[in-house]
């Protein structure tokens, strides 16, 4: 088991854990949750030995084999499958033993080494690795492509596959879904549900946590609090706990006020001095119950659109893709004929690489249509959230500079103090409004893009993976804001909780086209699993 007893952990001057105690049993699947910056990744660093405890006791079984997703981006021309296979540390050790035995010429050693190689599953390791890669969204022709031919997000998928290949006793996953589309996420869930070791996962995806965890550990105020149950169960139990704490705090404050009134009234009277002094001591001894500050203290709303064109836009035989400086353009999606009406809530589904982002970029005017026509309704005002936030931001400019430039375009009369107050609603306060965007965290950049969207007062929101860097609290705020938005929403997301709460119809981008998907998100997940099985069999 993993045991922390009265443990204190610092990261520089910051106290991450302060005298906390926690026990995790073998085979438990644990979701580690807490605010951004609370220290969840620091706890992982403690478990892996990269950080040492400053006080208290920490114990982990010494024989446990640990696996985690490396965060570095590998630069190598090694084939993708070979790279993933190296994650199987037992296989690599057995292969090294075979090489040493072959070199020695010792017949007994050679026999033992090859027996070990068979025992660790060497002869089906390559098919297992490739099945894992296919599940994570790689295509057959990519399985042996050089690692450095892939983009950063795909290399992180290779790192995830490499970690899953390791026959581990403890698996640590820090935001494993960040670079995954919904199809790969569904496959990963099914894989992790079968995993037999102890698992700790940090994630801001509520449905992912609900599907794979049975225990939730909340890191809050430098303490680890264990809850039996998945994330939804944790929310209910924590709400009850906070309600009780708030009631206890209120009772304590009444008692404090009563004692203070007695002290103030009688401290000057000699006959009551002793009693007043005893009240002072009682006040000092009284346990301070911290005021309850709920983590759901961030909220925002989209302004009412100035008008709602009907229809919002109409696509006729539209082809989407990328023009080439030389040669033929690359067409991803073709022959799209659909209309978008005011008030629609459309979730855009489709496997990775099918063209969801390309379609959204075309509607957002970030890409020109390669063919056909997109007719916009009079007064259409588009608010676009790009999958890569930096596509919409300038690295050297601060939030205030972004807002000033935006205000000049859409509201020239806005005053700087008004913009500063507005940014404060999105947690940009003080000197932070002038901090270069390039130095902000992913979550802070995403909040800035949301702030800019709200200011534009759109009537059509085009959102491409808006939750990639948002914590659970901000995701909840976004969901509430979208549900109250009176305009039209078109949403690409692998966050199923957001899709369920916001979308009431779905478009499926597949086989180079766009069609209505007749079903809900559960139907789509079943469809994805069927497609994945068919692909694995075909391969």
Q: What is the pLDDT of residue 292?
A: 47
CA dihedral defined by 426, 312, 467, 157, rounded to 10 degrees?
-150
Residue 295 confidence (pLDDT) above 50: no
pLDDT digit string (tens) for 73-99? 778 889 999 999 999 888 888 888 878
Q: Kindly state the percentage of the chain with pLDDT values over 70.
A: 92
Answer whether 390's CB lies under 8 Å from 436's CB.
Answer: no
Give the C-alpha separation, 445 to 443, whole Å. Answer: 5
302-357 pLDDT, tens digit per residue, is 989 999 999 999 999 999 999 888 878 899 999 999 999 998 999 999 887 789 99
Helix (H) or strand (E) holding 321: strand 313-322
Question: What are the residues whose beta carbons fall under 8 Å from the beta carbon of 537, sequence distance 6 or more?
Answer: none
Could you tell me the pLDDT band of residue 297, with boundaries at 50, 70 and 90?
low
pTM confidence score: 0.77
Region 436-452: what's the mean pLDDT? 87
pLDDT band at 14 (very low <50, low <70, confident <90, very high): confident
- pLDDT reading at 371 higher than 60: yes
Residue 451 makes CB contacts below 8 A (sequence gap 6+) with: 300, 399, 403, 422, 423, 425, 426, 428
Helix (H, G, I), strand (E, B) or coil at 192: helix
Closest among 253, 440, 461 to 344, alpha carbons compared: 461
Instruction: Return the structure tokens found at 219.
Output: 């890191």
Backbone φ and ψ for 511, nearest 5 degrees, come out as 50, 35
Structure tokens at 379: 């007064």
Question: What does the DSSP assignment read for 144-178?
Answer: TSBGGGS-HHHHHHHHHHHHHHS--SEEEEESTTT
Q: What digits encode the pLDDT tens for the residues 462-494?
A: 999 998 888 888 888 888 889 888 899 999 998
pLDDT above 60 (res 274): no
Q: In angstroms, rounded to a whole number, what is the distance separating the alpha carbons of residues 25 and 171?
A: 13
Tell me the pLDDT of the chain averaged across its residues. 86
Q: Give the pLDDT band (50/70/90) at residue 281.
A: low
pLDDT tens figures, 216-266: 999 988 999 999 999 989 988 887 877 777 777 777 777 777 777 767 776
Dist. CA 239–CA 294, nearest whole Å: 9
Token pair 């199923």 is found at: 496
pLDDT digits (tens, 9 = 90+) for 45-59: 999 999 999 999 999
**pLDDT at position 208:** 94
**Residue 267 pLDDT class (50, 70, 90 cuts):** low
pLDDT greater than 90 at residue 413: no
Mean pLDDT of 396-402: 92
Gap between the Cα atoms of 117 and 131, Å rounded: 20
pLDDT mean over 175-189: 88
């Amino acid at each position: 088991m993993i045991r922390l007893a009265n443990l204190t952990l610092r990261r520089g001057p910051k106290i991450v854990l302060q005298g906390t105690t926690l026990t995790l049993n073998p085979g438990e699947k644990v979701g580690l949750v807490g605010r951004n910056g609370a220290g969840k990744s620091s706890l992982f660093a403690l478990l892996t030995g990269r950080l040492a405890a400053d006080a208290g006791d920490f114990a982990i079984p010494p024989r446990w084999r640990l696996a985690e997703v490396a965060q570095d981006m590998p630069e190598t021309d090694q084939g993708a499958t070979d790279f993933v296979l190296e994650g199987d540390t037992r296989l690599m050790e057995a292969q090294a033993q075979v090489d040493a035995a072959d070199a020695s010429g010792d017949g007994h050693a050679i026999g033992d080494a090859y027996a070990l190689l068979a025992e660790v599953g060497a002869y089906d390791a390559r098919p297992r690795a490739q099945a894992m890669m296919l599940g994570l969204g790689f295509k057959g022709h990519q399985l042996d492509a050089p690692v450095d031919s892939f983009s950063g997000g795909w290399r992180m998928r290779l790192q995830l596959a490499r970690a899953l290949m390791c026959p581990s006793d403890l698996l640590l996953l820090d935001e494993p879904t960040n670079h995954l589309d919904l199809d790969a996420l569904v496959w990963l869930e099914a894989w992790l549900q079968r995993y037999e070791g102890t698992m700790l996962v940090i994630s801001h995806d509520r449905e992912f946590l609900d599907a794979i965890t049975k225990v939730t550990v909340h890191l809050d105020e430098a303490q680890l609090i264990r809850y039996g149950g998945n994330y939804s169960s944790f929310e209910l139990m924590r709400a009850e706990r906070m309600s009780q704490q708030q009631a206890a705090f209120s009772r304590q404050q009444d008692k404090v006020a009563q004692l203070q009134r007695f002290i103030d009234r009688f401290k000057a009277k000699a006959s009551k001095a002793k009693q007043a002094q005893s009240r002072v001591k009682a006040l000092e001894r009284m346990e301070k119950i911290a005021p309850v500050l709920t983590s759901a203290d961030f909220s925002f709303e989209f302004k009412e659109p100035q008008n709602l064109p009907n229809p919002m836009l109409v696509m006729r035989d539209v082809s989407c893709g990328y023009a080439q400086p030389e040669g033929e353009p690359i067409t991803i999606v073709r022959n799209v004929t659909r209309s978008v009406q005011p008030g629609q809530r459309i979730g855009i589904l489709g496997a990775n690489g099918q063209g969801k982002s390309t379609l959204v970029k075309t509607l957002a005017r970030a890409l020109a249509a390669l063919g056909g026509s997109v007719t916009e309704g009079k007064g259409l005002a588009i608010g676009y959230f790009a999958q890569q936030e930096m596509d919409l931001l300038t690295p050297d400019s601060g939030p205030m500079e972004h807002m000033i430039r935006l205000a000049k375009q859409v509201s020239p009369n806005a005053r700087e103090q008004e913009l500063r107050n507005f940014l404060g609603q999105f947690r940009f306060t003080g000197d932070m409004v002038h901090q270069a965007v390039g130095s902000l965290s992913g979550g802070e950049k995403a909040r800035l893009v949301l702030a800019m969207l709200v200011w534009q007062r759109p009537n059509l929101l085009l959102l491409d993976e808006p939750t990639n860097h948002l914590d659970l609290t901000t995701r909840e705020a976004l969901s509430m804001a979208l549900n109250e938005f009176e305009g039209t929403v078109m949403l690409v997301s692998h966050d199923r909780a957001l899709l369920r709460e916001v979308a009431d119809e779905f478009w499926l981008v597949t086989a180079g086209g766009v069609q209505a998907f007749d079903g809900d998100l559960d139907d789509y997940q079943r469809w994805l699993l069927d497609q994945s099985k068919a692909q694995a069999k075909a391969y």
